[in-house]
Each structure stands twice: as structure tokens, then as C-alpha cells.
Amino acid sequence: MNLDDMARRLPAERDLPAARKQILKEHLMTELRQADPTRPRTRRPRRRRRPGGHRRTVLVAGAVLTAAAVAIATATAVGTHASPPAPKAGQPAAPATAAQLLVKIAAAAARQSAPVVRDSDFTYIRSEVAYEVDSISNGHETSSMEKLHDRQIWLPVANVCATGLLIEQGEHTPISPFPVANGKVDRDPPKGTPVPNFTCPSEGHLGDTTYRLLQSIPTQPDALLAYLKAGKKWTNDDPPTEIGDMIRETIMPPALAAALYRLAATLPGATLVPHATNVAGRAGIGIMWTSKTARQVYKNEWIFDKTTLRFIGEKTYDPGTGRLTGESAIIQQAFTAKAGQLP
């Protein structure tokens, strides 16, 4: 069986939308080609998609180890929480529902000043992450959590065709919509190699955005909801899942952040988590979502700082057992002049 056949047989592809399926296939092919250096290499995903998208499968067969991101459905029942204690005199009332918290988060976001950013800049995000890994050996599958590790990513501000950078677990991976071989972007790849389905330069699309695209998204509630629904052709996700993907690994323009959280406050399916902690140990307050794609369900917890109400990480849970399958913490966000440059 050749490498392309192995990629086509990846089981998790059955329930994925076409765009996500191609991303995951390319990720698998990148890992497979490490065992066959004569074949061209393709890029890894530009940014973390939903936490379930980071689950990896390790196939142990002879001397070849392959790893691929496999989407997991993350849903679990959420119990009710006790009512928050009455506030002390002079203190604002604590939110009693997820909708009330989202309204407060939106107001806090709206108060932030918009940064001055050049088209040539890069969005820099540093985070701490750990996700579940599936290991398959001799037909038997076991699951375990990765060790918590550092992740740094640089994404272009205005043009997804520009080359970014991902540093994770000791690997320095150029990020580009074009194939990457030996650390260099191949803008004229061999015939049959997957290439972008848009014209460069491009601000991207929902599911693969730039900061400039985020700045152009409408902020009026009806127009914003219509935009998210139209973006389903790219993501195949419902609005809560699309919002989660947008805030996960980016710097959000204040006006759009406020609009997204106001919209989220009107959507059903959210549960308040009064006491939440991200993987770095930072205490906060959370919102648990049950989000749906065409054929999958996700249970995802957004975590916000209790004082600033800024997004500081998230957690994901297995649909059947309720066990933790992934978690992250935002450590630093900034804009830099070039990929690889630290703030």
C-alpha cells in the first residue's frame, strides 16, 4: 500500500467537511513522508482548529511512526451549578447565567483600544497546550494525554499567502498555503500537489482568517450572524463553534470581539462555569458550549480571566466519558514585524 492509499484510509475523515478533511489529510501526509524523503512535503494546519482537531493517532508498524490530527467529537453532560453568593456592598453582581457573563465580556472587549498594525506584521500567539493522543499498535488502540508543552505561532496580518511559522515540540515548521519542502515554500509545486483554492494575495476566509479579514467582518448582530452562517461553506460548523475557532488562536479586533460575544449571549446551549482554571493554573470563569457540526458534537469550555474578562484558554471533553481530552492556556499575544521575532 502506498502513502496516498494510507492517507485515504484514515478513518476519521468520514465525518469531516471537505475543507477540514483536506487539512487533516495533508497533516498525515507530512508525517508519512518523513519515512519517504523522496516525496514532496505538504504544510501542516495554519492554526489550531477546535481542540478535538489536535488529537493525534500514532500508528506503530515496523520502524515507521505516523501521526495525524484526528477530529474528535467532544460532548458530555454538564451538571447544574450552585447559585453564586450574594455580592458584597459596592461590588457588581456576579453573573448568574452564561448569557449575563457574555454580555459583560462583550462590554470589556469594547473598552479595549484597537492596535495599530501594519500589513507586513505578524500575529504572535504563545500558548501552553496538551491534547489526547491515540496510539495504535498491532491493531490495539490506547489513549493518553500529551505532556504540557509550549506552542508559538506567527500568522500574517494581511495575506494568508505570506509564510508564517510554528514552533512546537522542538519543530520549526513554516506555515504557508503552499507545499513546504526542506523548510522552503514551493510556489510552483509538482502537478497534482494540493494548492490554495483562492487567489493570492488574500485576506483568507472564515476558518483561515487574517487580522485584516477579522477587521472587515460586520459587527451588527443580524449581519454578523448571516456572515457566520454563510461561512459554513468553509467550516461546516454552527455559529458557537465558528466563534470558538475565531477566538482560539488570534488577536481579535475589539469591535468584532464585542460583537461576537454579544451574539454568543443570544445563542442557546451555553452553561456558566463559575470556577474554571486554565492549564497554566490561572483561575477564571468559564462558559461551557455544546457545539455542532454537520455530524459531530463538541463540548468545549471557554475560560476567561475573572478580572479582565479576557480569553485565557479552553478545555475539551470526551462525549461518552466526560474525560478531559485537551486543554490550553494563552500566555502571550502581540504583533511582530516578522515571523520568528519575539515581542
pLDDT digits 0-9 by tens, 91-108: 567 889 999 999 999 999
Per-residue pLDDT for 219 more than 80?
yes
- Residue 255 sits at φ, ψ, to 5 deg, of -65, -40
Spatial separation of the C-alpha atoms in residues 110 and 170, rounded to whole Å: 37
* Model-wide pTM > 0.85: no
pLDDT, residue 291, reads 65
Q: If we measure between CA atoms, which residue out of 216, 302, 210 comes closest to residue 259?
A: 216
pLDDT band at 298 (very low <50, low <70, confident <90, very high): low
CB atoms under 10 Å from CB of 212, counted, come to 17
Confidence of residue 293 (pLDDT cuts 50, 70, 90): low
Using an 8 Å Cβ cutoff, are 298 and 73 in contact? yes
Is the pLDDT assigned to residue 321 strictly greater than 50?
A: yes
